[in-house]
């Protein structure tokens, strides 16, 4: 700019020539600036169109993911409920209502009701109606549709939408779409989704109020019977209104920026529009995608007005082009002002000020968008600066803390009422998660109690915190708060129940130890207990049976061997429990037996779960003179555990939905900021958020596998252990061969005998063990793994040995506990892998243990039932 000024100064004395040259220079500057503005505007317009296409594709993916996550949640819910119903010995209206009660807190958008349906032929209808009336459905009246075929009647039903229509007695085969879904679920043995149709309960509504809907159904099977089969009991069925579902499930994903049309197959083979979600824009671009929901494929048509999409609006090219034009005008005016004094300089100053205002408005809009994303998160989020002053507290955090924000870490404990987990001791300021994060620490899941005037009863929260680099102001911190009051209360109740059981067991053992000295006195005491107690001589002759035992034993039974067959005793997995494996028979051989669980079928058909204990009775020389056994009815406890497991599975699954939302919105914000290189620091912060959500998703998956390992019904069959191990090893070596950072492991597999197990669960055990052997090998050295087995005819002992880093002394047993990690530094994981293995092996009646490998490394040894030779030709369900 200085040469131009010098030029003007030089030519100024010659007025005519000066004005001519000034005009030429001004014109040249204006033309060059205009050409640059037009070129830049065209380039940015093309860039905007590409950004709009990418944004529409991302929105389409987000909508499809939202539908997949929501429908998966519904299908998992009915599948878990079906498993709980099948595990219940005597299902009543009261028990069914308790099982369904947790669903009222899940906000299942569009769900109308959930019911239990049973099959019945024409001649069975009176008996089925009488049975379910006796189980609590007093007003049940079955209404069959047609004759000559099997019906599916709703015998238990709980509304989920607040209506009073229960649907009791309806015949599910009255609708072709529902009948097809029921038949498919029974045939495939998995949850299915019907074609779109109008629910029977909605057909009485005015046409303008009707919605196309679906039914989701899952088959219910009972426990494994003595012949190895699982009897079919009926279906769990949920009605789902399409428009209500779409409006709620996609509201967050669409954010009012896209139109969504959901279409699904109809019973006549056509495709019907089920529901729509409209925005306020004028769509000019369309994407179509398909989503698999159970056994059906739904179609989503997503339309968007590109002018309303973040980062793709038409104002950016225009603003930039206009900005260049403004700069051109400013330059032109500057040239002119250098010659014509400072009057026009003020106009240039005004134009520059206006441009600064536009830039400030754009920055404020981006900040508002980020704030809106944080405010939609269900967990509490708080951000503080280096001085402890709060920069952000989202609505969830304010609701959780209950009192207004206050700056200064030294004031937090008193202001918010922060106490340690037991609620009695104030939480030290230096140990608060946000204070530690300000010092540069990363803090995970610190439990504390918030108790103040807004939370007088106290709320238990789990807090995780991370340091933040705020660049201009120093190091800040961010914390995430989660309300875990209900979970902590449930854990305390479970611990109290376990303590009560241990207390009762200690009392029984003390009474048994003093049996000989106080026989007459203890006989009266034992008859008052609701615990079965039996004492027998060395030859198995029953010496004494208390009152509860006498009611269960046949009067003709004189020995334990006579009494056991009449009780139809089996293991929890349905396999027969022979007399020589019962606790009393084992105690007569000198063994001490604790917590052996079995299922009894009484003469009236009632099934009871019992927990058995047995001890040998010894004389002074140590010779076995008899045995005493006790059993405790744990039927109600097992039913409560099944209900709790079902509820825990649903809650763990529900964690995925907000996690998916957090990840989706974080990706949207990251992509919106990626266009501006000045946002690199913010993008790095968002990448750390994405990494954290990925780790949390891994933990949730492990938790679901841990729950399934304990609750999933066993499908026991003859398993080719040699082939199964070969498949696992092949998968692991293939994965290593395609990853340049991994060395291919060296695996030796000895001849392995067949076993009796659930093949899917056993594969999970072997894959975990081989995976651990590969994972815990020093860097730069390929893993060496030996898989061997030894059979004694009834049991197969499998050993997986490695040459890895080994297990620290004293932790060989602890590694099978939940969340225990012997090598937390440098090795990623959740600490649930070996706990899952232990659950699966113990459910098969086996044991698992870890030992040091003499050559360095670890040997994991597990036992499994051997497959007998006569089982080779039997089908899987008969073995």
384 and 366 within one domain:
no
Half-sphere exposure of 212 (CA within 13 A, CB side): 19
d(CA 721, CA 125): 47
Bridge-based pairing state of the strands 784-791 and 746-749:
parallel
**pTM for the complete prediction?**
0.37
463 inside domain: yes
CATH number at residue 834: 3.30.565.10
450 inside domain: yes
What token pair was written down for 147? 């004759």
Long-range Cβ contact pairs of 566-569 (< 8 A, separation 24 or more): 567/600, 567/601, 567/602, 568/600, 568/601, 569/598, 569/599, 569/600
Residue 3: what pLDDT?
Answer: 41
Q: Sign of the C-alpha dihedral, residues 28, 30, 36, 39?
A: negative
Tens digit of pLDDT for each residue in 708-729? 566 667 788 999 999 988 888 8
d(CA 859, CA 773): 9
677 and 598 within one domain:
no
3-state DSSP assignment of residue 847 = coil
280 and 172 within one domain:
yes
Bridge-based pairing state of the strands 380-384 and 296-304:
unpaired
688 and 548 within one domain:
no
461 and 349 within one domain:
no
CA angle 635, 638, 641 (to 5 degrees): 150
**Helix or strand holding residue 785 (H, E):** strand 784-791
Q: In what order do the strands lie in the sheet with 390-393?
A: 390-393, 380-384, 475-483, 459-469, 443-450, 418-419
3-state DSSP assignment of residue 452 = coil
Closest by CA position to 317, among listed 39, 679, 30: 39
d(CA 240, CA 734): 43
476 inside domain: no
3-state DSSP assignment of residue 768 = helix
CATH number at residue 585: 3.30.450.20
Residue 326: what pLDDT?
Answer: 66
704 inside domain: no
Residue 152: what pLDDT?
Answer: 94
318 and 274 within one domain:
no
Closest by CA position to 640, among listed 80, 86, 90, 98: 98
- CB neighbour class for 204 (10 Å; exposed up to 12, middle 13-18, buried from 19): exposed
Residue 658: what pLDDT?
Answer: 78
List of residues 6+ apart from 747 with CB closer than 8 A: 729, 732, 733, 770, 784, 785, 786, 787
Query: DSSP secondary structure string, 377-394?
Result: -SSEEEEE-TTS-EEEE-
744 and 665 within one domain:
no
What are phi and psi for residue 514, nearest 5 degrees?
-105, 20
3-state DSSP assignment of residue 85 = helix
Q: Cα 614 to the chain's mean position, in Å? A: 40
What token pair was written down for 650? 């649903």
Residue 666: what pLDDT?
Answer: 85
What token pair was written down for 728? 């696992």
870 and 744 within one domain:
yes
Residue 7: what pLDDT?
Answer: 37
Residue that is last in its domain, among 587, 610, 633: 633
Half-sphere exposure of 727 (CA within 13 A, CB side): 13
Reduce the secondary structure of 363-377 to three states and give it as a string.
Answer: HHHHHHHHHHHHHCC
Q: How far is CA 532 from CA 81, 544, 586, in A?
A: 33, 11, 18
CB 840 within 8 A of CB 761: yes
d(CA 756, CA 716): 6
What token pair was written down for 109? 């958008």
What are phi and psi for residue 830, nearest 5 degrees?
-110, -10
Residue 220: what pLDDT?
Answer: 93
Query: For residue 392, what are the β-bridge partners?
Result: 383
CB 198 within 8 A of CB 214: no
816 and 849 within one domain:
yes
Within 676-784, residue ranges assigned H as helices are 680-711, 721-738, 759-775
Query: For residue 275, what are the β-bridge partners?
Result: 262
What token pair was written down for 516? 């000989």
Residue that is last in its domain, among 600, 633, 666: 633
Within 197-283, residue ranges assigned H as helices are 242-249, 251-254
708 inside domain: no
Closest by CA position to 478, among listed 407, 383, 391: 383
d(CA 462, CA 486): 12
235 and 90 within one domain:
yes
CB 212 within 8 A of CB 197: yes
Residue that is last in its domain, among 653, 670, 699: 699
477 inside domain: no
What token pair was written down for 131? 């049975």
3-state DSSP assignment of residue 316 = helix
Q: How far is CA 850 from CA 225, 807, 859, in A?
A: 34, 9, 6
Closest by CA position to 452, among listed 487, 403, 496, 497: 403
Q: How far is CA 218 from CA 144, 282, 593, 642, in A?
A: 21, 41, 39, 17
CATH number at residue 133: 3.30.450.350
72 inside domain: no
What token pair was written down for 342? 């400072």
398 and 360 within one domain:
no
Q: Domain range for residue 357? A: 2-64+313-373
d(CA 835, CA 818): 5
CA-based R_g, the chain, Å: 36
- CB neighbour class for 606 (10 Å; exposed up to 12, middle 13-18, buried from 19): exposed
**Helix or strand holding residue 264 (H, E):** strand 258-265
638 inside domain: no
**Helix or strand holding residue 528 (H, E):** none
- DSSP structural state of residue 306: G
Number of domains in the chain: 5
794 and 718 within one domain:
yes
What token pair was written down for 663? 């990840």
Average pLDDT across each block of 10 residues of the chain; the chain has 879 residues. List them in order.
41 47 64 66 66 78 83 87 85 88 79 92 92 89 89 90 79 88 90 86 75 90 81 92 81 72 80 80 83 86 76 54 62 60 53 68 60 66 80 77 76 83 86 86 88 83 83 74 80 74 74 61 73 87 82 76 77 79 87 83 76 89 89 77 62 69 82 78 81 71 62 80 89 69 79 91 87 79 87 90 82 69 58 78 86 86 83 38
């Amino acid at each position: 700019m200085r040469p131009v000024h010098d030029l003007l100064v030089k030519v100024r004395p010659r007025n005519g020539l000066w004005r001519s040259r000034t005009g030429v220079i001004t014109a040249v500057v204006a033309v060059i600036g205009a050409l640059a503005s037009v070129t830049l505007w065209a380039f940015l317009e093309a860039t905007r169109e590409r950004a709009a296409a990418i944004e529409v594709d991302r929105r389409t993916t987000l909508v499809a993911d939202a539908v997949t996550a929501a429908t998966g949640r519904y299908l998992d819910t009915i599948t878990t409920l079906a498993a709980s119903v099948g595990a219940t010995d005597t299902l009543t209206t009261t028990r069914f209502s308790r099982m369904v009660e947790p669903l009222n807190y899940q906000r299942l958008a569009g769900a109308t009701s959930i019911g239990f349906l049973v099959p019945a032929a024409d001649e069975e209808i009176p008996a089925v109606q009488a049975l379910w009336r006796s189980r609590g459905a007093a007003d049940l009246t079955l209404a069959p549709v047609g004759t000559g075929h099997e019906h599916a009647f709703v015998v238990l039903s709980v509304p989920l939408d607040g209506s009073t229509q229960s649907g009791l007695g309806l015949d599910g085969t009255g609708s072709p779409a529902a009948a097809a879904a029921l038949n498919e679920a029974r045939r495939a043995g998995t949850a299915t989704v019907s074609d779109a149709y109008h629910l029977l309960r909605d057909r009485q509504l005015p046409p303008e109020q009707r919605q196309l809907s679906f039914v989701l159904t899952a088959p219910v099977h009972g426990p494994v019977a003595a012949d190895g089969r699982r009897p079919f009991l009926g279906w769990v069925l949920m009605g789902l209104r399409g428009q209500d579902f779409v409006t709620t499930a996609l509201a967050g994903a669409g954010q009012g920026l896209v139109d969504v049309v959901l279409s699904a197959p109809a019973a006549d083979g056509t495709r019907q529009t089920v529901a729509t979600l409209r925005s306020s824009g004028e769509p000019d671009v369309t994407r179509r995608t398909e989503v698999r929901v159970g056994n059906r494929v739904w179609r989503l048509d997503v339309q968007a007005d590109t002018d309303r999409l973040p980062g793709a609006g038409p104002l950016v090219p225009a603003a930039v082009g206009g900005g260049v034009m403004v700069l051109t005008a400013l330059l032109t005016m500057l040239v002119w002002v250098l010659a014509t004094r400072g009057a026009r300089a003020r106009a240039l100053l005004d134009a520059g000020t206006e441009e600064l205002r536009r830039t400030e408005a754009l920055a404020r809009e981006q900040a508002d968008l980020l704030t809106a994303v944080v405010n939609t998160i269900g967990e509490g989020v708080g951000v503080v600066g280096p001085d402890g002053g709060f920069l952000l507290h989202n609505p969830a955090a304010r609701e959780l803390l209950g009192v207004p924000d206050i700056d200064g870490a030294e004031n937090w404990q008193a202001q918010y009422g922060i106490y340690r987990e037991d609620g009695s001791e104030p939480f030290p300021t230096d140990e608060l998660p946000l204070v530690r994060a300000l010092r540069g620490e990363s803090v995970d899941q610190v439990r504390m109690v918030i108790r103040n005037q807004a939370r007088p009863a106290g709320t238990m929260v789990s807090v995780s915190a991370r340091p933040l680099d705020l660049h201009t102001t120093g190091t800040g911190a961010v914390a995430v708060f989660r309300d875990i009051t209900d979970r902590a209360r449930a854990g305390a109740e479970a611990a109290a129940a376990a303590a009560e059981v241990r207390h009762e067991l200690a009392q029984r053992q003390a009474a048994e130890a003093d049996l000989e000295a106080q026989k007459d006195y203890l006989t009266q005491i034992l008859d008052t207990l609701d615990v079965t107690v039996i004492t027998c001589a060395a030859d198995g002759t029953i010496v004494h049976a208390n009152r509860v035992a006498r009611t269960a034993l046949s009067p003709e039974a004189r020995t334990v061997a006579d009494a056991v067959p009449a009780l139809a005793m089996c293991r929890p997995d349905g396999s027969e429990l022979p007399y020589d494996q019962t606790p009393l028979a084992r105690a007569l051989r000198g063994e001490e037996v604790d917590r052996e669980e079995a299922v009894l079928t009484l003469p009236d058909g009632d099934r009871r779960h019992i927990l058995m204990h047995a001890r040998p009775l010894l004389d002074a020389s140590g010779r076995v003179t008899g045995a005493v056994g006790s059993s405790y009815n744990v039927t109600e406890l097992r039913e409560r555990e099944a209900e709790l497991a079902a509820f825990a599975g649903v809650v763990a699954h529900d964690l995925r939905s907000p996690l998916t939302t957090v990840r989706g919105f974080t990706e949207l914000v990251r992509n919106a900021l990626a266009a501006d290189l000045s946002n690199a620091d913010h993008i790095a912060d968002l990448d750390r958020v994405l990494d954290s959500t990925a780790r949390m998703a891994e933990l949730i998956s492990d938790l679901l596998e841990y729950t399934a390992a304990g609750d999933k019904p066993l499908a026991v069959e003859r398993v080719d252990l040699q082939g199964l191990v070969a498949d696992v090893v092949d998968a692991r070596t293939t994965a290593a061969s395609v990853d340049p950072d991994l060395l291919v492991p060296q695996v030796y597999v000895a001849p392995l005998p067949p076993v009796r197990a659930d093949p899917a669960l056993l594969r999970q055990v072997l894959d975990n063990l081989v995976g651990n052997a590969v994972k815990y090998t020093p860097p730069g050295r390929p893993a060496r793994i030996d898989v061997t087995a030894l059979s004694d005819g009834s049991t197969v002992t499998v050993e997986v040995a490695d040459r890895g880093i080994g297990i620290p002394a004293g932790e060989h047993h602890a590694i099978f506990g939940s969340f225990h990690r012997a090598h937390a530094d440098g090795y990623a994981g959740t600490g649930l892998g070996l706990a899952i293995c232990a659950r699966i092996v113990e459910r098969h009646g086996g044991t698992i243990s870890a030992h040091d490998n003499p050559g360095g490394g670890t040997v994991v040894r597990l036992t499994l039932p051997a497959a007998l030779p006569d089982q080779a030709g039997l089908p899987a369900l008969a073995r």
